[in-house]
């Protein structure tokens, strides 16, 4: 029974590295409430504590709450007092070094596939690696996902000789009995705690509950068999079933953190499923359909005053129907107060722009816009200017698609409930 009680205790010790924002990207435009919340929780207001090979390592302020837990768990619960607190702090720091190693393993493999890794943030519930978003091939996604748990298994394997030594000294002959010593304030307890933590970190993250690492590997497997959107849906459903199992076992074990974890899994799985659907829809939409026709743009020799008629905005500069530059709203704005009367359009136009074909997908343009500092792209058809596609336009399209996807998701749930009711009859 002690084991059953101990394991949830271990979970509480931050085993759960929930891959919340370990979403390898996601939509920076039109992010909804939940997404904004998770984004803020994972990255906002974090302190940078260092950098490993150009990847910033950050710590979220709520991390400090864990020290309260250390005081309780090692100082009070073990009645070891100050020595227990120092010991607990050391354990905590090492557990998080293992979480960091897990994230770095993801980051390292992602980097090998040419993806930019922005930063790693440590939260009380685990680590979050922010990796540049691109559509990954199933194999690549599986390898990136597998790298994290593999790192924890490798640490556990490396610790095994020490664990065997401790078992020999303490005459522990039952394999499961090691957990009884794991919260002891001693070197033996320290080694055992780290060993168990790494095994649990690996196993927990390998649960096939999307969007945890195991769920990603599962989706990659399904993607080899069917469309990515369908594969995601299947992986999400498997994850949701597992979340239900977590809720039930949490209540059964008396650990109310597990239902909370399940809730996180449900929310993130839902967000990821929606995003994959949004991505698929945006891929099918040609950008030409949403371009704004700004009266054919403006000529480079025109006075700048012409560009400012009706207020400053992003405008394409065209010559005989061909785009030769762009005027950006944010560059026109400061000119309103100072003199612009003397200037011509060509004096201010940006000559390094990225024209896109009207048949290019909204998704491709989204990828370009989110990696660029430019707020818009000129849309051309066989080299001839057809209109401008701005970030605001993109946000509108994204919002519209997102809303449609939510309705679609509710539709799926409703039809599922209707089917259940029919079966019940």
Give the footprint of Zn ion on this chain (CB under 5 A): 148, 205, 213
Q: How many residues in total does the chain contain?
A: 425
In this structure, the dihedral spanned by the alpha carbons of residues 304, 313, 368 and 105, taken in order and rounded to 10 degrees, is 110
Q: Which is nearer to Zn ion, 205 or 391 (CB)?
A: 205
Our answer to whether residue 141 is catalytic in this structure is: no
Q: Which is nearer to Zn ion, 8 or 148 (CB)?
A: 148
Residue 90 near residue 25, CB atoms below 8 Å: no
Q: Give dist(CA 109, CA 244) in Å, integer.
A: 32
Q: Which is nearer to Zn ion, 35 or 213 (CB)?
A: 213
- Residue closest to Zn ion when measured from CB atoms: 148
List strands edge to edge, sheet with 55-59. 47-52, 55-59, 117-123, 126-131
Q: DSSP letter string over 28-82? A: -SS--HHHHHHHHHHTTTPEEEEEETTEEEEE-GGGGHHHHHHIIIIIITT--HH
User: Residue 386 CB, nearest distance to Zn ion (Å)?
Assistant: 44
Three-state DSSP state, 350 = strand
Beta strands per DSSP E along 210-327: 315-319, 322-327
User: Residue 148 CB, nearest distance to Zn ion (Å)?
Assistant: 3
Q: Which is nearer to Zn ion, 59 or 291 (CB)?
A: 59
Tell me which H or E stretch contains 155: helix 138-169
Q: Which is nearer to Zn ion, 120 or 316 (CB)?
A: 120
Q: Which is nearer to Zn ion, 149 or 288 (CB)?
A: 149
User: Residue 126 CB, nearest distance to Zn ion (Å)?
Assistant: 8
User: Residue 149 CB, nearest distance to Zn ion (Å)?
Assistant: 7
User: Residue 393 CB, nearest distance to Zn ion (Å)?
Assistant: 35
User: Residue 19 CB, nearest distance to Zn ion (Å)?
Assistant: 5
Q: Which of 22, 103, 140, 272 is catalytic?
A: 103
Tokens of 306: 């012409």
Residue 72 CB contacts under 8 Å (≥ 6 apart), including other chains: none
Q: Give dist(CA 286, CA 379) in Å, integer.
A: 11
Q: Give dist(CA 190, CA 88) in Å, integer.
A: 9
Q: Which residues are catalytic?
A: 103
């Amino acid at each position: 029974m002690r084991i059953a009680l101990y394991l949830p205790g271990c979970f509480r010790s931050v085993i759960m590295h929930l891959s919340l924002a370990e979403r390898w990207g996601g939509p920076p435009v039109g992010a909804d409430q939940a997404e904004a919340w998770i984004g803020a929780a994972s990255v906002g207001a974090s302190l940078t504590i260092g950098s490993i090979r150009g990847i910033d390592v950050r710590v979220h302020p709520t991390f400090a709450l864990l020290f309260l837990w250390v005081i309780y768990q090692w100082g009070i619960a073990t009645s070891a007092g100050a020595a227990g607190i120092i010991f607990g702090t050391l354990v905590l720091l090492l557990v998080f070094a293992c979480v960091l190693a897990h994230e770095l393993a993801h980051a390292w493999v992602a980097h090998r596939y040419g993806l930019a890794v922005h930063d790693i943030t440590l939260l009380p519930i685990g680590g979050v690696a922010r990796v540049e978003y691109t559509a990954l091939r199933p194999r690549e996604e599986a390898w990136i996902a597998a790298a994290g748990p593999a790192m924890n298994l490798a640490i556990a394997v490396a610790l095994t000789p020490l664990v065997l030594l401790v078992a020999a000294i303490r005459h522990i002959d039952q394999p499961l009995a090691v957990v009884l010593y794991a919260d002891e304030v001693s070197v033996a307890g320290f080694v055992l705690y780290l060993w168990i933590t790494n095994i649990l970190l690996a196993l927990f993250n390998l649960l096939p509950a999307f969007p945890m690492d195991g769920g990603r590997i599962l989706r990659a497997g399904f993607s080899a068999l069917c469309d990515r959107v369908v594969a995601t849906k299947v992986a999400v459903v498997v994850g949701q079933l597992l979340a239900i199992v977590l809720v039930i076992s949490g209540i059964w074990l008396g650990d109310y953190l597990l239902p909370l974890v399940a809730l996180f899994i449900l929310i993130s799985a839902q967000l990821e499923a929606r995003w994959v659907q949004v991505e698929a829809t945006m891929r099918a939409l040609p950008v030409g359909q949403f371009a704004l026709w700004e009266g054919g743009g403006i000529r480079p020799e025109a006075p700048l005053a012409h560009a400012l008629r009706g207020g400053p905005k992003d405008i394409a500069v065209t010559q005989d129907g061909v785009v030769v530059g762009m005027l950006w709203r944010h560059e026109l704005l400061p000119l309103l107060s100072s003199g612009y009367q003397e200037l011509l359009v060509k004096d201010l136009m940006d000559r390094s722009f990225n024209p896109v074909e009207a048949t290019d997908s909204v998704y491709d343009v989204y990828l370009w816009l989110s990696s660029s500092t430019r707020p818009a792209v000129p849309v051309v058809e066989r080299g001839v200017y057809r209109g401008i596609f701005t970030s605001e336009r993109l946000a509108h399209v994204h919002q519209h698609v997102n809303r449609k996807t939510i309705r679609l998701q509710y539709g799926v749930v409703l039809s599922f409930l209707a089917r259940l009711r029919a079966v019940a009859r």
